[in-house]
Amino acid sequence: MRHAMIMAGGSGTRLWPMSRGETPKQLIPLFQGKSLLQIAAERLEGTVDQKNRWICTGQKHCEAICDSLPHFSSSQLIGEPEGRDTLNAVGFTATVLHKLDPNAIFAVLTADHIIRPQEEFAKCLDIGFSLVEEDPSRFVTFGITPTFPATGYGYVELGETIGEGANRCKRFVEKPDLATAESYVASGNFAWNSGMFVFHSKTVIDAITRMQPDSAAGLALIGEAWGTPQQQEVLNRVYPNLPKVSVDYGMMEPAGDDEAISICTVPMEVEWLDVGSWPSYGETLSPDKNGNCSDTKSFTINCNRTLAVSDDPSHAVTMIGCDDLIVIHTKDATLVFPSSEAQRVKEMHGLVDPSLQ
């Protein structure tokens, strides 16, 4: 049966000061009153039955997610006691779903992207499910056509076609240097790794057993206890001790050399924006003739390529003679920085008083 899991466990520190411990970036209503998680959930309409939709997130965020997504019940939230990176989120989901449905095929989707148009996303997701239904040994990835030589994304090399709308995957490359990324884009044979997948639950469990035995041992204990009175106690005791490793490094890269697994890529011809920083959020807004963007009341004089964001619609952000400047205003913290320093917002988050984190 088809299932879908949205990964919503990130802290989003590069979107501080709006992203906080109790309200991480996926829950901030930045998009005309909607959050990234709400938008991600809406993308599943018409693709997977509501009862087979899941969200993997931190336990401390479960109540807030249920409040913002009333059509999700608490039983559809797979709560992590603490984040242990994406391989364990995928393995945890596979373990739970396999116990509920031994033939579960599940999509792993993200809660921090804008993806348009919906029709192309739905078509590609259906192709991904069909590929795994035909052959449960397949790991399906979704590749995004590169628009520039990004060094912050992983890449997949496309091989021969499989039917209509899919390719074999030759290899994964994590975050290449600029020269390598430029060669990939020029070749036309590489796609950005979207971080979205389709797997058979049993295939994932078996793969983690071979590739990450320490994680597999802990996940097996959680699986044995799932649905019993010991479920929460075992989860709280075991999960925080799982080794931190990403699904890309811990499973997808070694899968390329695993004879039991066939990796396929479904290219997605979509507008795909990873909203992981303030400059990327600015790309979702319509600029004025000078490239200035704002989601609040703002005024500029002789400014170019600025961004103004506020959680208070009555608060005016004003700038004079500024280029490439970003101003983020909240009720108790204001952040100002040149767009070139966006990666240091995470560093600032670590410096401020804990009450502001």
The residue range of the domain holding 103 is 2-274
Provide the domain count of the chain: 2
145-154 pLDDT, tens digit per residue, is 999 999 988 8
91-120 pLDDT, tens digit per residue, is 999 999 999 999 999 999 999 899 999 999
pLDDT score at 355: 86
Give the residue among 162, 186, 166 at the shortest CA–CA distance from 176.
186
Q: Is 37 exposed, middle or buried (0-12, 13-18, 19+ CB in 10 A)?
A: buried
pLDDT score at 288: 97
The structure tokens 């389709």 sit at 198
Q: Same domain for 232 and 302?
A: no
pLDDT score at 350: 92
Q: Same domain for 207 and 189?
A: yes
Rounded CA-CA distance 337/349 in Å is: 13
pLDDT score at 294: 97
Q: Same domain for 103 and 245?
A: yes
Q: What are the backbone dihedrals phi and psi of residue 58, each rounded to the nearest 5 degrees, phi first? A: -70, 145
Among 219, 242, 274, identify where a domain stops.
274
Q: What is the pLDDT along the chain (357 residues), one digit of tens a residue?
A: 999 999 998 778 999 999 998 888 999 999 989 999 999 999 999 999 999 999 999 999 999 999 999 999 999 999 999 999 999 999 999 999 999 999 999 999 999 899 999 999 999 999 999 999 999 999 999 999 999 999 988 899 999 999 889 999 988 888 899 999 999 999 999 999 999 999 999 999 999 999 999 999 999 999 999 999 999 999 999 999 999 999 989 999 899 889 999 999 999 999 999 898 999 999 999 999 999 999 999 999 999 999 999 999 899 999 999 999 999 999 999 999 999 999 999 999 999 988 899
pLDDT score at 340: 96
CATH number at residue 96: 3.90.550.10
Q: Same domain for 127 and 63?
A: yes
Among 253, 274, 295, identify where a domain stops.
274
Q: Same domain for 99 and 245?
A: yes
pLDDT score at 293: 98
Q: Is the dihedral of CA 299, 303, 309, 310 positive or negative?
A: negative
Neighbours of 178 (CB within 10 A): 10
pTM: 0.92
pLDDT score at 190: 95
pLDDT score at 19: 94
Q: Same domain for 261 and 309?
A: no
Q: Same domain for 200 and 109?
A: yes
Among 274, 295, 315, identify where a domain stops.
274
